[in-house]
Amino acid sequence: MNTNLKTNLAERAKSLPDRPGVYVMKDRSNRVIYVGKASSLRNRVRSYFQSSEGLPKRTQVLIDRICDFEYIVTDSEVEALILENNLIKKYRPWFNIQLRDDKTYPFIKITLEEDFPRILITREVEQDGSRYFGPFTDVGAMHNTLRFLKSLFPIRSCSKKIDEGCTQEIRPCLNYHIKKCLSPCTGRISKEAYRELINQIILCLEGRHDQVLPAMKKKMQDASDSLNFEEAASIRDTIQAIRRVTERQKVVLDSDADIDVMGYFRDDTDICVQVFFVRSGKLMGRERFFITVAWGTPDIEVITAFIKQYYSEAVFIPDELLLPSDPEDKKAINMWLREKKGRKVSIRVPKRGNKRHLQSMATDNARISLEEAKTLAAREAASRDAALLELKKALNLPRLPGKIEAFDISTIQGTDAVGSMVVFRQGKPEKSSYRRFKIKTVDGQDDYAMMLEVVLRRYKRILGKAENNLKLPDLIVIDGGRGQLNAGVKALTKLGITDIPIISLAERNELIFTEDQNEPIVLPQDSKALLLLRYIRDEAHRFAVSYHRQLRTKRSMLSSLEEIPGIGKKRIQALLAAFGSIKGIGEARVEEIAKVPGINRKLAELLKQNL
């Protein structure tokens, strides 16, 4: 930052209000590089333009890049904290701390707004009356939990809209006969009895298995007294299954409170945070998170940022947080969590006793997790490097194929024909670079002509931008045999590209066809190079098929809409403009659909019924 700019920014900072708010720092390209909150905007922002001696190197680098700033005044520190978190998600500034990959983790959703609720998996939390549990970083464990609960409690898995007293079906479906559903659609279970099952599931998801058992024991005894021994035996088996789960859970605290315990470990380059979930004194589960931070970021900033980001997404706030150290803005965070939960939330750094032991155990697990993750990453990187080196030798490539692009075609008898291109860099998929193509110039079933079009369009686009010439791949892979390869070669020849190796991989016998050899190359089935090529080919195929299915489903749904009396192309266009997609139309309420120009209430009801 030059002296004049620093002076100008310092003068602007003096005029900022002495109130809480959020400030946004920008670089010379007007990109947001840092978002922060302050109890006093004036004092906080002014501090950036005073002497930087003694500040951490990371902060000095940030200050050197600041060319402009903006600010937003809020009514309280809590509002500033919430706004800061939202802006970090929006802009993803480099100098802010973020959970690695910024993944959207899944939640378990129970649709309590329905008469007969369902259990779903979703990545979006809405204010729709449903109950949410999560987020879950271990998706496999989440699915195992759902399978276990559905095996114990036979609730419905269909998407039908079922209202009590309005049975839609005369005969129950297969799930009823195999005892996986109690068939509310045929009126075989009341709303109250079904809700009892849902409440038991909620208790289990909350980790309160012991509270489920007394009601189930009474139900088992009632069934036995009524000589309904088959039902009593079924309930007995469910009780035993819950007991087995409960016995495996470790009692770690003599407390009925809900407590989250945070462990924290960092090495020279990476950070892992481990969160233990203690419910009614028992350790119910854990989640781990890897965090990407700028070099030199203090631990207290990392811990503070994690708490803000994690609990902004979490749908359950515990009674108590056990931390390795106090966060910054502890008072504001405490008030924010209290508002989210509706009652007091304690934030503590335990110094002795069982809670200290538990927090140390979480930290130890964070260390082990980070070491395991780095060991696994190193092993995978070495395996990828070996595969690329083996591929270079097997195909006699001029250089190591650091960047590989692969193509595939998907169509059924020429309809909804699409092409896909996937990119692998250093043996890893680079999904942000994937591309898909609608076939434009080919009618009917002609895979070779389609492949020619897709390859031609891809590299014609790159060559048309001079600054993108360096982005040409080191190797091109075509899914198919000699015919598909020849189509790819023809496309490159038309563009004057002669220095990029191109091969095809036939699926049946895993034969590798090359441009300059008549006979295909056959690699051993356990070859690392062949395994990599299979992975790349299969990924291109998956990407093409998923796009083809998407287009086919959309066309089918549009055709179905056009068959509804009173729905023509203009009204379909109006509906798509209002709701964005067929899925959006299907999820909209009748009242919302009726507001679309040209759609009345009767037509909206007919539309929903057909969807």
Residue pLDDT, tens place only, 552-586: 777 766 666 666 777 777 777 777 777 777 677 77
Q: Could you give the C-alpha distances from 304 to 85, 273, 282, 310, in angstroms and in order?
A: 11, 12, 26, 10
Q: How confident is the model at residue 284 (pLDDT cuts 50, 70, 90)?
A: confident
Lowest-confidence segment of 134-148, 369-383, 523-537 by average pLDDT: 134-148
Residues sharing a CB contact under 8 Å with residue 281, sequence separation 6 or more, in sequence order: 251, 252, 253, 254, 255, 256
Q: Could you give the C-alpha distances from 191 to 116, 410, 463, 555, in angstroms and in order?
A: 7, 46, 64, 38
Q: Which of 587, 127, 605 is CA-nearest to residue 578? A: 587
Q: Using CA atoms, how far apart are residues 203 and 193, in angstroms rounded to an integer?
A: 16
Domain covering 3-96 assigned CATH 3.40.1440.10 in the classification = yes
Segment of 217-231, 283-297, 348-362 carrying the highest mean pLDDT: 348-362
Q: Using CA atoms, how far apart are residues 168 and 166, in angstroms rounded to an integer?
A: 6
* Helices 139-152, 229-248: crossing angle, 10 deg rounding: 150
Lowest-confidence segment of 90-94, 271-275, 431-435, 455-459 by average pLDDT: 90-94
Q: Using CA atoms, how far apart are residues 565 and 283, in angstroms rounded to an integer?
A: 58
Question: Please, what is the end-to-end C-alpha distance for the chain in angstroms?
Answer: 59
Q: Using CA atoms, how far apart are residues 72 and 74, in angstroms rounded to an integer?
A: 7
Q: Using CA atoms, how far apart are residues 244 and 150, in angstroms rounded to an integer?
A: 16
Q: Average pLDDT, whole number, for the chain?
A: 84
CB-based contact 279:208 (threshold 8 Å):
yes
State the pLDDT at residue 166: 60
State the pLDDT at residue 33: 92
Assessment of whether the complete model's pTM goes beyond 0.75 = no
What are the start and end residues of each CATH 1.10.150.20 domain in the chain? 563-610
Q: Tell me the CATH number for domain 403-551.
A: 3.30.420.340
Model pLDDT for residues 195-215, shown as the tens digit of each residue:
988 988 888 777 776 676 777
What are the start and end residues of each CATH 3.40.1440.10 domain in the chain? 3-96
Burial (CB < 10 A; 0-12, 13-18, 19+), residue 464, is: exposed
Q: b vs e for 121-132, b when ≥16 Cβ sit within 10 Å of the residue's Cβ?
A: eeeeeeeeebbb
Q: Which of 512, 514, 490 is CA-nearest to residue 501? A: 514
Q: How many CB atoms lie within 10 A of CB 7?
A: 12
Q: Which two tokens stand for residue 338?
A: 């209290």
Q: How confident is the model at residue 511 (pLDDT cuts 50, 70, 90)?
A: very high
Q: Which of 153, 136, 166 is CA-nearest to residue 203? A: 153
Q: Using CA atoms, how far apart are residues 199 and 243, in angstroms rounded to an integer?
A: 18
Asked if the bond preceding 401 is cis, omega within 30° of 0, the reply is no
CB-based contact 149:119 (threshold 8 Å):
yes
Higher pLDDT, 274 or 219: 274
- Strands 250-251 and 258-266, by their bridges, are unpaired
Q: Which helix (H) or strand (E) holds 68?
A: strand 68-73
| Residue 166 DSSP one-character state | B
Lowest-confidence segment of 63-72, 84-93, 262-271, 573-582 by average pLDDT: 573-582
pLDDT at 456 over 90: yes
Q: What angle do CA 383, 387, 389 make, to 5 degrees?
A: 115
State the pLDDT at residue 572: 76
CB-based contact 272:367 (threshold 8 Å):
yes
Q: How many CB atoms lie within 10 A of CB 458?
A: 20
Long-range contact list for 304-307, CB < 8 A, 24+ apart?
304/328, 304/329, 304/333, 305/96, 305/97, 305/98, 306/97, 306/99, 306/262, 306/273, 307/262, 307/333
Could you say which architecture CATH assigns to the domain 563-610?
Answer: Orthogonal Bundle (1.10)
CB-based contact 260:278 (threshold 8 Å):
yes
What are the start and end residues of each CATH 3.30.420.10 domain in the chain? 258-371
State the pLDDT at residue 589: 77
pLDDT at 241 over 70: no
Q: Tell me the CATH number for domain 258-371.
A: 3.30.420.10
State the pLDDT at residue 167: 57
Lowest-confidence segment of 13-22, 99-108, 109-118, 326-335 by average pLDDT: 99-108
pLDDT at 249 over 60: no
Q: Which two tokens stand for residue 514?
A: 């090359």
Q: Which of 322, 393, 418, 330 is CA-nearest to residue 362? A: 322
Give me the phi and psi of 128, to 5 degrees please.
-120, 15
Q: Using CA atoms, how far apart are residues 247 and 245, in angstroms rounded to an integer?
A: 6
pLDDT at 15 over 80: yes
Residues sharing a CB contact under 8 Å with residue 142, sequence separation 6 or more, in sequence order: 106, 108, 121, 134, 136
